[in-house]
Amino acid sequence: MSTSSTLHPPAGASSLRGDAGVIGLVGLGHMTSHFSQLLLAPLFPWLKEAFDVSYAQLGFLMTIFFVVSCAVQALSGFVVDRFGPRPILFGGLALLGFAALGYSISTSYAMLAGFAVVGGIGNGVFHPADYTLLNRKVSASRLGHAYSVHGITGSLGWALAPALVVSLTFAFSWRIALAAAGVLVFTVLLVLLLQRNKLALQPAVPVAGASAAGGNLDFLKIPAVWMCFAFFFWNAIVLSVVQAFAPEAARQLHGMPLTLVAVCLTVYMVCAAGGMVLGGFLAADPTRCERIVGIGYGVAAAVALVLALGHVSPGVVPVLFGVMGFASGMAGPSRDLLVKRSTPENATGRVYGVVYAGLDIGQAVAPLIFGVMMDHGQYRGVLLGLALTQGVLIASAFNVRRVRRTALPVAA
């Protein structure tokens, strides 16, 4: 039995205006989630002095955040399927806002750690809630564009956080900066509350004969679900390496000025957003999603190999990061379709919760491995590892297709 037809309106069933409203509101919430993930890291120099702690201790705050988020993400999918995505989404935003305000009034490292737990809980609900809303409320013909916007808004959230909190810290203080971030999160929550009717979702109607999601845990028997989990684990490692280590490794290998390190990451993110726009059109045909993922990450892996093994002019390095970002972004919407096509009826929240937990695990593991490589001066190894991981992503995508139609054993 196929498990590839998660409930959503058929093509033409939803108006363009209605779809755009849902996509925009879900994207706004997703941007706020990514924004909240990067509130503390840009402020480490100030927090280090204020709390007299090491960078390792400050980095552990991010580990706390993502470990908690991982656990919550896997569990929140069950809650989303039971109570619907809207209240869970609102609750997650409220917790993120509370965590940001909590950071701003913290007087000890322990308080920061406690509010990191709160933030991790809030962050863990977004993928199950977001993808349930998109898959169930957006028409099939616009679903690729919905995934594209979802990815773009996440990248914008990552870009906004350091720009806002560092600017306000220079102008006022880190406490004012984090308090302002909290106010921004609660403002987004207010907008979504005022538009809550657009996010209303009727309970899913069971499909006759669809036993794939018959039990709460039956979806865990689908091999494609675990292949998707592995795919997102490797995808998170790629993203973590690019965000934290690859620009500095390229600087060390190619004599790039320090000022261009931040430019490499900015160019990567901007070009990734552009790639996602193209990827939204390419994903209009779900049957080719594995090929698009393969092409996108194949180009990205080739660029990483050039950075690792080639002799590149310093001025060309940001351009190569832009190419790598565009290729990876192009694969983004098709990447999300891999999960949708592997999701059984009425189990959207549970599947996305478990699958996207792979992202949090990857983001927690990657710094431990590649950070040690950077400490030992293995800059070429970092970029070779990036290329290798992107190659693993290609194999993982085609493995998902290979096992997607594995049927569940029918319970007695």
Write down the mean pLDDT value for the chain.
83
Instruction: Say which residue, 113 or 56, is predicted with more confidence.
Output: 113
d(CA 341, CA 323): 28
User: What mean pLDDT do residues 49-61 have?
Assistant: 85
Residue 205 lies in a domain: no
* pLDDT for res 211: 43
User: Do 319 and 234 belong to one domain?
Assistant: yes
User: Do 28 and 162 belong to one domain?
Assistant: yes
Residue 9 lies in a domain: no
Residue 203 lies in a domain: no
Q: Is the pTM of this model over 0.85?
A: no
Final residue of a domain: which of 198, 227, 251?
198
User: Do 227 and 158 belong to one domain?
Assistant: no
Residue 335 lies in a domain: yes
Residue 412 lies in a domain: no
User: What mean pLDDT do residues 51-73 have?
Assistant: 85
User: Do 190 and 236 belong to one domain?
Assistant: no
* pLDDT for res 401: 66
Please, are residues 1 and 213 in contact by the beta-carbon 8 Å criterion? no
| Cβ-based neighbours of 401, under 8 Å, separated by 6 or more | 290, 338
Q: Please determine, for residue 344, whether its predicted confidence score (pLDDT) is greater than 90.
A: no
CATH number of the domain enclosing 109: 1.20.1250.20
User: What mean pLDDT do residues 46-65 have?
Assistant: 86
Name the pLDDT band for 216 (thresholds 50, 70, 90). low
Q: Please determine, for residue 190, whether its predicted confidence score (pLDDT) is greater than 90.
A: yes
d(CA 329, CA 151): 8
Residue 229 lies in a domain: yes
Split into its structural domains, the chain has a count of 2
Residue 410 lies in a domain: no
User: Do 254 and 190 belong to one domain?
Assistant: no
User: pLDDT by residue (tens digit) across 176-189?
Assistant: 999 999 999 999 99
User: Do 182 and 249 belong to one domain?
Assistant: no
User: Do 70 and 107 belong to one domain?
Assistant: yes
User: Do 223 and 326 belong to one domain?
Assistant: yes
* pLDDT for res 403: 64
User: pLDDT by residue (tens digit) across 41-50?
Assistant: 778 888 989 9
User: Do 32 and 156 belong to one domain?
Assistant: yes
Residue 88 lies in a domain: yes
**Residue 388 lies in domain:** 216-405
User: Do 95 and 152 belong to one domain?
Assistant: yes
User: pLDDT by residue (tens digit) across 69-93?
Assistant: 988 887 887 888 888 899 999 999 9
User: Do 394 and 251 belong to one domain?
Assistant: yes
Q: pLDDT exceeding 70 applies to what percent of the chain?
A: 86
User: Do 194 and 220 belong to one domain?
Assistant: no
* pLDDT for res 373: 85
